């Protein structure tokens, strides 16, 4: 896929969370994965992508782990993260707005998704720039969905047109900044960037991604991520 653009494309990685469900001695982004931390894998995937111009990392002001790996990730802009994901993204966007052009774009990617493929990032950028609206990587739901109440099934949910939201999610820098600001001001809870855009009446293109773009949330996810990274490395050797 050949893509050219005169727009700057930024990337934000919110990494101020603690990942309590991992039951680990440190935030999940600093857990070891094939000789590096999860965060090093994630940042490297975005910072080395040829269409991404700058990466902004939002970390906790009390982060004691970042200094140990900072030297392995040169050229990364670091800002203070916030209490919630949207706060971290807003802080990063405020930094970007000081330097960006009016039509610049930004991708926001979960720090705990180290298996994101370069080809998926390229596909997202290509489709978003072509369509003109924002967009996100996503996967159509294939499992049967149940709506439950107190662990009792009330009914089966029609899975047609249902998607699992992944990251990166890509929007115009200023549009996303203002959308998130309005959500915070109105106490609207958003769990991803697309939700903020949707809340303001905006649209987001669904771009089918790869199933190995998993989010490390539970302890067993680390082993799964290791398997996917090894598989991707073997695929690269065969190209």
Statement: residue 2 has pLDDT above 50: no
Number of domains the chain contains? 1
By residue range, what is the domain housing residue 95?
A: 9-238
Statement: residue 6 has pLDDT above 70: no
Comparing CA positions, the residue from 178, 22, 175, 11 lying closest to residue 79 is 11
pLDDT band at 132 (very low <50, low <70, confident <90, very high): confident
Statement: residue 161 has pLDDT above 80: yes
With respect to residue 35, please indicate whether it lies within any of the assigned structural domains. yes
With respect to residue 2, please indicate whether it lies within any of the assigned structural domains. no
Give the pLDDT confidence score for residue 1 in this predicted structure.
32
Give the pLDDT confidence score for residue 211 in this predicted structure.
97
Neighbours of 229 (CB within 10 A): 17
Burial of 113 (0-12, 13-18, 19+ CB in 10 A): buried
With respect to residue 32, please indicate whether it lies within any of the assigned structural domains. yes
Statement: residue 87 has pLDDT above 80: yes
| Interatomic CA distance for residues 230 and 81, integer angstroms | 31
pLDDT digits over 99-109, tens only? Answer: 998 899 999 99
With respect to residue 56, please indicate whether it lies within any of the assigned structural domains. yes
Residue 62: what are its φ and ψ, rounded to 5°?
-100, 20
pLDDT band at 237 (very low <50, low <70, confident <90, very high): confident
The CATH number given to whatever domain includes residue 141 is 3.90.550.10
- State what percent of residues in the chain have pLDDT above 70: 97
For the chain, helix (H) and strand (E) counts, in that order, are 7, 11
With respect to residue 223, please indicate whether it lies within any of the assigned structural domains. yes
Give the pLDDT confidence score for residue 107 in this predicted structure.
98
With respect to residue 4, please indicate whether it lies within any of the assigned structural domains. no
With respect to residue 1, please indicate whether it lies within any of the assigned structural domains. no
pLDDT digits over 177-215, tens only? Answer: 999 999 999 999 899 999 999 999 999 999 999 999 999
Chain mean pLDDT for the chain:
93
With respect to residue 175, please indicate whether it lies within any of the assigned structural domains. yes
Comparing CA positions, the residue from 4, 33, 23, 77 lying closest to residue 227 is 33
């Amino acid at each position: 896929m050949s893509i050219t653009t005169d727009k700057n494309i930024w990337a934000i990685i919110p990494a101020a969370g603690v990942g309590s469900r991992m039951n680990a001695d440190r935030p999940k982004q600093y857990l070891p994965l094939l000789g590096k931390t999860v965060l090093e894998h994630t940042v490297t995937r975005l910072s080395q992508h040829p269409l991404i111009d700058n990466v902004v990392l939002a970390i906790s002001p009390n982060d004691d782990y970042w200094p140990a790996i900072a030297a392995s990730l040169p050229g990364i802009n670091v800002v203070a993260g916030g209490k919630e994901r949207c706060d971290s993204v807003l802080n990063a966007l405020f930094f970007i707005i000081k330097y960006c052009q009016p039509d610049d774009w930004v991708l926001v990617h979960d720090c705990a998704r180290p298996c994101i493929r370069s080809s998926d990032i390229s596909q997202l950028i290509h489709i978003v720039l072509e369509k003109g609206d924002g967009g996100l990587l996503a996967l159509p739901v294939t499992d049967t969905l149940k709506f439950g109440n107190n662990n009792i099934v009330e009914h089966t949910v029609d899975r047609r047109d249902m998607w699992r939201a992944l990251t990166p999610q890509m929007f115009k820098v200023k549009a996303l900044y203002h959308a998130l600001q309005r959500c915070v001001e109105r106490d609207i809870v958003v769990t991803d960037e697309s939700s903020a855009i949707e809340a303001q009446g905006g649209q987001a293109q669904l771009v089918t991604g790869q199933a190995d773009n998993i989010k490390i949330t539970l302890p067993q996810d680390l082993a799964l991520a290791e398997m996917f990274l090894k598989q991707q490395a073997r695929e690269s050797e065969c190209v």
